[in-house]
Homo-oligomer: A and B are copies of this chain.
């Protein structure tokens, strides 16, 4: 077979502020080809990329490496590396079989000889701010073949980092007890919808917000007692009426904003707040930032606010996730919704921006289906 096109999303300019721009910071490069039958594997294996999972951490990886953050950065001129589901098409590695599905960090390109080297950070902790996480360490892992039980995109969601985020944060920070009330902002998002389901399974009452009536209905279908549209009702009015809350799951577009303020006011003593994302706040200009009214409640109510990323809690709760969650998914007790925001490589650059600007307008985890098997 002759070489075929091997499109890739290449990182070409570092981000200094705000949101990245497709075509400026990264671009689709269609100039490469690959001979999938003959490309040397050198003892490795060849994967075909099927489902891309754009996530907020990608923005962090576009910064200059001199700026401290929780993750390593991207390499200029190399493919963007992020989460995806792939299928093995050739293998010289005994433990990896052709036809197996894998999920993890991989270059966003059509086909990749694995383990990938282009764009991979050679991680030396001393070269990074303490606590910087080596994102490339989340290497591809073999995942079970769903055999049609559910789409492969589940691995980007309930079986992937959003599921892990929800699970380890609920176990390690929220620690909700039956009868307590949890407030979830962005409850229709990938992580938010999983947090809601885990809370309901544990007997919690849930208040959850989202930005459209369709999302409100989706949250209601998940069992949320008080779902509301923050464009129609204020956080303050809903939480003061339906609170108090025992815990708050703070999702990315609410840190420092009205939701946090209202939640501080509605919290019981010893409330637990978990923060796992911040994209939108990063993009707000200083003069437009919300003035926090209720910071004093952190002390008065002895609230604990904890920021986290999945790797912080994996050592404690990762094993439990892999024991419990796949079974719950198989039994239909945990569900997730994915929103397809792109269906070909040409869609990818704009889809990344859509994800970051929270502008895809649909419930569920955004995914891009770049190839069929």
Interface residues of A (CB under 8 A from B): 60, 68-70, 129-132, 244, 255-256, 260, 268-270, 275-278, 281-282, 286-287, 289-293, 295-309, 312
A300–B130 contact, CB under 8 A? no
B270–A131 contact, CB under 8 A? yes
Which 8 A-B residue pairings sit nearest by Cβ, starting from the closest? A131-B269, A256-B295, A278-B296, A299-B307, A298-B307, A289-B291, A305-B305, A304-B306
State the Cβ distance, A308 to closest chain B Cβ, in Å: 5
State the Cβ distance, A128 to closest chain B Cβ, in Å: 10
Report which of B68, B269, B308 forms a contact with A302, defined as CB distance below 8 A.
B308
Nearest-neighbor residue (CB-CB) of A173 within chain B: B304
User: Given A129-B269, A268-B131, A269-B131, do A301 and B296 touch, yes or no (CB 8 Å)?
Assistant: no
Give Cα distance in the complex from A291 to B256, angstroms.
9
Give Cα distance in the complex from A303 to B304, angstroms.
10
Nearest-neighbor residue (CB-CB) of A131 within chain B: B269
B291–A278 contact, CB under 8 A? no
A305–B304 contact, CB under 8 A? yes
B256–A296 contact, CB under 8 A? yes
Report which of B68, B289, B298 forms a contact with A255, defined as CB distance below 8 A.
B298
Report which of B70, B289, B291, B299 forms a contact with A300, defined as CB distance below 8 A.
B70
- Chain B residue numbers with a CB within 8 Å of A269 are 70, 129-132
Can you add 11 more A-B contacts, CB < 8 Å, to A70-B300, A131-B268, A289-B292? A70-B299, A129-B269, A131-B302, A270-B312, A278-B298, A286-B293, A287-B291, A292-B292, A297-B307, A299-B307, A302-B307
B286–A291 contact, CB under 8 A? yes
User: Given A269-B130, A292-B289, do A305 and B301 touch, yes or no (CB 8 Å)?
Assistant: no
A256–B292 contact, CB under 8 A? yes
User: Given A268-B130, A286-B291, A291-B291, do A278 and B300 touch, yes or no (CB 8 Å)?
Assistant: yes
State the Cβ distance, A166 to closest chain B Cβ, in Å: 15
- Chain B residue numbers with a CB within 8 Å of A306 are 302-305
A298–B270 contact, CB under 8 A? no
